[in-house]
Amino acid sequence: MSENSLAARFSFSRVGPDTETDSISYRTPLAVAMLSVAFEDWVEDLARGWKSEGANGISADLLIDGLDTGLILCAAVLCLFPRSSRLGVAVFTLGAALVFWPEWQMMANHAWLAVWTIPPAIIFSQWWRSDLYSLYLRVTLGIVMLAAFAQKIVAGTYVDGTYIYWLSAYGDTTKRMFSFACDLSEGAPCLAYKLIGQFILVWQLAVGVLLLLGVRSLIFLAIEVGFLLGAGLFADEMNFQVLNIALLCIVFQVGMPTWLLLGCLLLLVVDVFQISYLIRELVQYVS
């Protein structure tokens, strides 16, 4: 399949300084990235309270805590429109500071990536057209992928398959998707687990290198999105993958088509409750 036919089929279109159209789809990725931060923080706390105690688990204090996250939600809306997009980035930066600063030492990788990539957009009057902002995100994501590769190499648990074995034996529902590949009673990872772990390493290394080399193929983007979704399903962590997908749309300077937008929003909602939890509830309901 050629790159042009892929772009036509999936409604991808590139934007640049000379692009005549100013579709909202070009600003949607940053709004989705902001939403992933809101869902990762306060919305997840709401879902956790609902899963544990139902409506009684949602206290007044929890609702008040959501005021800071409300700024991030407002920022996502402002970001969609050309005249208010920079204001949206500024509001997001304020909201993120209020949410994360009190416990910045406990920030997760998702939050660090968001605060490292989203606020710099305020420098550019039209960040969605900026080649420099796109380059900044490309280099950042490339370095992140190579750092993740290096960390896994040093730890060694992906190389020898022990991490995949541990997840298959003790992880939640989706993390045990490869449990069929080995006999867990042997107490050690088999060849299949080693190959899976090493494939993940090769994938992260390849993506990091290709990003830093400036590869802009839409086929590469489509494959990477597919891998991210697969990794999110396996780790039961779709939120982080949505953030990466949104940032990649800006890196490749393509608009986020409606089908991808709806998919990302659905994944954010699903991730709030976690796939493993929803599967268990469905199984209990059916049985």
pLDDT in tens, 20-68: 457 899 999 999 999 998 887 655 555 555 555 555 555 555 555 556 6
Q: What is the pLDDT of residue 49?
A: 54
DSSP assignment string, the chain: --HHHHHHHHT--B--TT-S---GGGTHHHHHHHHHHHIIIIIHHHHHHHHHHGGGG--HHHHHHHHHHHHHHHHHHHTTSTTTHHHHHHHHHHHHHHHHGGGGGG--HHHHHHHHHSGGGGGSTTGGG-HHHHHHHHHHHHHHHHHHHHHHHHH-TTTSSHHHHHHHHHS-TGGGTTGGGS-GGGSS--HHHHHHHHHHHHHHHHHHHHHHHT---HHHHHHHHHHHHHHHHHHT-HHHHHHHHHHHHHHTTB---HHHHHHHHHHHHHHHH-HHHHHHHHHHHH-
Q: What is the pLDDT of residue 209?
A: 96
Residue matched to tokens 């997760």: 108
Tell me the pLDDT band of 111, cut-offs 50, 70 and 90.
confident
Average pLDDT over residues 100-129: 86
**In the prediction, which pLDDT does 255 show?**
86
Residue 2, pLDDT > 80, answer no
pLDDT tens for 191-245 read: 888 999 999 999 999 999 999 999 988 899 989 998 898 888 777 678 889 999 9
Q: Give the pLDDT confidence score for residue 190 in this predicted structure.
A: 85
148-165: pLDDT as tens digits? 999 999 999 899 989 888
Q: Residue 131 has what pLDDT? A: 92
**Mean pLDDT to the nearest integer, 1-25:** 59
Which of residues 225 and 175 earns the better pLDDT score?
A: 225
Lowest model confidence (mean pLDDT) among 92-106, 156-170, 243-257? 92-106
Looking at residue 246, its pLDDT comes to 96
pTM value is: 0.84
Short-list 103, 102, 28, 34, CA closest to 71? 34
Of 35-49, 125-139, 145-159, 163-177, the range with the lowest mean pLDDT is: 35-49
The pLDDT value given to residue 22: 73
Residue 281 to residue 159: CA distance in whole angstroms = 35
Q: How many residues does the chain have?
A: 287
Q: How many CB atoms sit inside 10 A of residue 258's CB?
A: 11
pLDDT on residue 108: 75
